[in-house]
Chain A
Amino acid sequence: MSTTFEKVAKIIADTSEIDIDTITPESHTIDDLGIDSLDFLDIVFAIDKEFGIKVPLEKWTQDVNDGKASTDDYFLMKNLCAKIDGLVAAKAAA
């Protein structure tokens, strides 16, 4: 059974030209992996479908723009996966 990380890495690799072997928990999805902004939207869509959640991407982007969070907090792979797990848990609890 694959972990959150494995699933997300696969989604990223399938959606963009990025080689799955280059994706590590420390990879920054935007800065390191250089995912195109449009591909990113499709990746989030695929994540939503895969995990049955709704990633609040606009809120995250707003938080970063407002200085309330760093891009690492949301877009570093390990943090992104943790946030996804959090959203899945919240949904299950609701």
Chain B
Amino acid sequence: MSAHDVVITGIGLVSSLGEGTDAHWQKLTAADAAPTVDAERYSPYSVHPLPEIDWGLQIAKRGDQRQMETWQRLGTYTAGLALDDAGIKSDEALCATMDMVVAAGGGERDGTVDNAILEASETRNDREVLLNEKLTTELRPTLFLAQLSNLLAGNISIVHKVTGSSRTFMGEEGAGVSAVDTAAARIRSGQSTHVLVGGAFQTEHPDMLLGYELGGYLHRGPWKPVWQREGGEGGGVVSGSGAAFLVLESREHAKARGRHIYATLGPVVSDLTRRRKRDLGEAIAGLLDKTNLPANGPLLAMSGASGAHAATKAEKAALERNPQLVARAFGTLTGHMKEAQFPFAVALAALAVDRKAGYPAFDAAHEKAYGGVPRSVLATAIGYHYFEGMALVGAPD
């Protein structure tokens, strides 16, 4: 135990399961936990949609809301939940000195304009001129800002007044892994005392789904739990809208504020495995070795498994090869949330440690029971296409 240990003092969560840590805990520990899935809107694809959110609860000014589309609102809102949870939101001095690392993709394109351009191109040879014509007149000028990757962090600064250093990482699940890794490393080295870290992903837009389907990654047909996607039509991923933000602090800083600590965050181990050259299962086993798993007892593993056939199969095998591990693929209930996936895994791990109980199997056919009090919980995110990361979350004492 040291003063510079990284501890988690605030958690903000939004997903198809609802908002906040309590709502998620209730839903995820319910005996009959079932996902909320919309199979109609983007048929033949299913998504886990966002519930109705009162954005005004965290984004007070209508003008601020208007400058964002759903993705940035989701992230800004969830960041607010985390800041509230950590008791930092109303503390100007703490916000002004708070560092931030955000894992971000990009914002929503104007589908109406895009489709009008595509349809018009049926009867025009001069596509590039057509593009100029339409884009200069049909796009709302400030839409660009709602799309810019670093503007999620920008909005968090403007709305919540978090104005220390600000970094935005891009790169699907890897961005979430690196964001948490970097935030923790800054604290451990004494460079930061408190950091806001997390990500948001809004899947309910054709382009967001296209991002997966250009690689053939989306699952089609009836919904199945994550560990059962193999052999199904399509590529295995069912995506979900969601966001997870964490407030990380040095132990010393949290104690000085007298703040409740959910859990400690151990070092993040990560890699970019060349999946065509190296067996992913072996690579995951290698990461598990580096993670310094506790010697005894069953260990809960909050797995961000995506459902993508190859990656999920490799992860399943690697986790099973280690009999100590009891996996929980939370994507079964939330969908795959890309940049938010790893922060979400860490958050769920921290909740289990804090509430001194595990989660029931999300898929009884493929997940073992867990009845103990978790002193440590593993969080993993194995990218559907590339990037891998994991970390151990532990009891604070």
A and B touch in the complex (CB under 8 A): yes
For residue B290, CB closer than 8 A to chain A, the reply is: no
A33-41, A59-67, A78-86: which one contacts chain B?
Answer: A33-41
**B61 to chain A: which residues have CB within 8 Å?**
17
Q: Mark A7-46, 1 if CB is under 8 A from B, else 0.
A: 0000000011100000000000000000010110110110
Bound complex: CA of A7 vs CA of B61, how far in Å?
24
Chain B positions 48-66 with a Cβ under 8 Å from a chain A Cβ:
61-63, 66
A-B contact pairs, 13 of them (CB 8 A): A15-B66, A16-B63, A17-B62, A36-B63, A38-B67, A38-B141, A38-B145, A41-B142, A42-B140, A42-B141, A45-B140, A48-B137, A54-B137
Bound complex: CA of A17 vs CA of B65, how far in Å?
11
Residue in chain A with minimal CB distance to B62: A17
Residue in chain B with minimal CB distance to A38: B142
Bound complex: CA of A38 vs CA of B155, how far in Å?
14
Bound complex: CA of A54 vs CA of B136, how far in Å?
11
Bound complex: CA of A48 vs CA of B139, how far in Å?
11
**A45 to chain B: which residues have CB within 8 Å?**
140-141
**A48 to chain B: which residues have CB within 8 Å?**
137
Q: Mark B65-81, 1 if CB is under 8 A from A, else 0.
A: 01100000000000000
| Chain A positions near chain B (C-beta within 8 angstroms) | 15-17, 36, 38-39, 41-42, 44-45, 48, 54
Residue in chain B with minimal CB distance to A18: B63
**From residue B146, how far is it (CB to closest CB) to chain A in Å?**
11
**Residues B63 and A39 in contact, CB atoms below 8 Å apart:** yes
**B66 to chain A: which residues have CB within 8 Å?**
15
**From residue A47, how far is it (CB to closest CB) to chain B in Å?**
12
**From residue B337, how far is it (CB to closest CB) to chain A in Å?**
30
Given contacts A38-B142, A41-B142, A42-B142, whether A17 and B137 have CB atoms under 8 Å apart is: no
**From residue A69, how far is it (CB to closest CB) to chain B in Å?**
23
Bound complex: CA of A36 vs CA of B142, how far in Å?
12
Residue in chain B with minimal CB distance to A40: B141
Q: Which 7 A-B pairs have the closest CB atoms?
A: A41-B141, A38-B142, A17-B63, A42-B142, A45-B141, A45-B140, A42-B140
Bound complex: CA of A41 vs CA of B137, how far in Å?
12
**A41 to chain B: which residues have CB within 8 Å?**
141-142
**B142 to chain A: which residues have CB within 8 Å?**
38-39, 41-42
